[in-house]
Chain A
Amino acid sequence: MGERMALTGNKCASYGAALCRPDLIAAYPITPQSSVVEELAGLVYSGALDARMVQVESEHSAMSVVQGAAAAGGRVFTATSAQGLALMFEPYFRMSTLRLPMVMAIATREMTSPETIWSGQQDAMSVREAGWIQCFCETNQEILDMILQGYMLAEDPRVLIPVNICYDGFYSSHLMEGVDVPSQAEADAFLPPYGLPAKLDPREPRSLDPMTPGELLTKYRRSHLEAMQAALEVVEEVDIKFAKAFGRSYGGAIEAYRMDGADYALVTVGGMTGAAREVVDALRGEGLNFGLVKLRFTRPFPAARVREALAGVKGFAVVDRSVSFGWDAGPMYVEACAALGGLLAGKAHFSAIGGLGGADLSVAQLAAAARRLAGAEGAGRMDTLWLSEEVRQ
Chain B
Amino acid sequence: MQELRLHGRGGQGLVKASHLVVKTAVETGRYGQFIPFFGVERKGSPVFGFLRLSGEPIRRKTQVYEPDVLVVLDDSLLALPATCAGLKPGGTVIVNSAREPGSLGLPPQAGTVAVVDATGIAIAEIGRAIPNTAMLGALARVTGLVDEAALLENIALEFGEANRAAALRARDGLRIVKGGA
A-side residues, CB < 8 A to B, are 4-6, 118, 168, 170-172, 174-178, 271-272, 274-275, 277-278, 360-364, 392
Contacts and interface: CB of A to CB of B under 8 A. Distances in A.
28 contacts: A4-B26, A4-B27, A170-B38, A171-B35, A171-B61, A171-B62, A172-B61, A174-B35, A174-B36, A174-B38, A175-B33, A175-B34, A176-B19, A176-B22, A176-B34, A177-B31, A177-B33, A177-B34, A178-B25, A178-B31, A274-B60, A274-B61, A275-B59, A275-B61, A360-B62, A362-B62, A363-B60, A363-B62
Given A6-B23, A6-B26, A178-B32, A275 B38 contact: no
Nearest to B51: A176
Interface residues of B, number: 21
B112 interface: no
Interface of B: 18-19, 22-23, 25-27, 31-36, 38, 58-63, 65
A296 to B, nearest CB: 16
A362 B127 CA distance: 41
A168 B35 contact: no
Among B22, B38, B59, find the residue whose CB has the most chain A CB atoms closer than 10 A. B59
Nearest to A118: B38
B82 to A, nearest CB: 13
Contacts of A171: 35, 61-62
A328 B113 CA distance: 49
A175 B62 CA distance: 10
A381 to B, nearest CB: 28
B60 A5 contact: no
Contact of B61 (A4, A118, A168, A178): A168
Pairs of residues from A and B, 7 with the lowest C-beta to C-beta distance, nearest first: A274-B59, A178-B26, A6-B23, A275-B60, A6-B26, A360-B63, A271-B61
B122 to A, nearest CB: 23
Given A277-B59, A278-B60, A362-B63, A6 B35 contact: no
A58 B51 CA distance: 35
Contacts of B60: 274-275, 278, 363
Nearest to B19: A176
A381 B78 CA distance: 46
Contacts of A362: 62-63, 65
A176 B18 CA distance: 9
Contacts of A170: 35-36, 38
Contacts of B22: 6, 176-178
Nearest to A392: B65
Given A177-B58, A271-B61, A363-B62, 4 more contacts: A6-B19, A170-B36, A178-B32, A363-B60
Contacts of A392: 65
A191 to B, nearest CB: 26
Contacts of A178: 22, 25-26, 31-32
Contact of A175 (B25, B31, B61, B65): B61
B25 to A, nearest CB: 8
A31 to B, nearest CB: 9
A375 B87 CA distance: 32
A6 B32 contact: yes
A111 B25 CA distance: 36
A180 B19 CA distance: 17
Contacts of B35: 170-171, 174-175
A275 B62 contact: yes
A361 B58 contact: no
A118 B62 CA distance: 14
A363 B36 CA distance: 18
Nearest to B50: A175
Nearest to B40: A117
B5 to A, nearest CB: 13
Task: Give the residue among A170, A172, A178, A364 with the most B Cβ atoms within 10 A.
Answer: A178
A313 B104 CA distance: 54
Contacts of A5: 23, 26
Contacts of B34: 175-177
B16 to A, nearest CB: 11
Nearest to A274: B59
Contacts of A175: 33-35, 61
B147 to A, nearest CB: 14
Q: Which of A176, A272, A360, A392 has most chain B Cβ within 10 Å?
A: A176
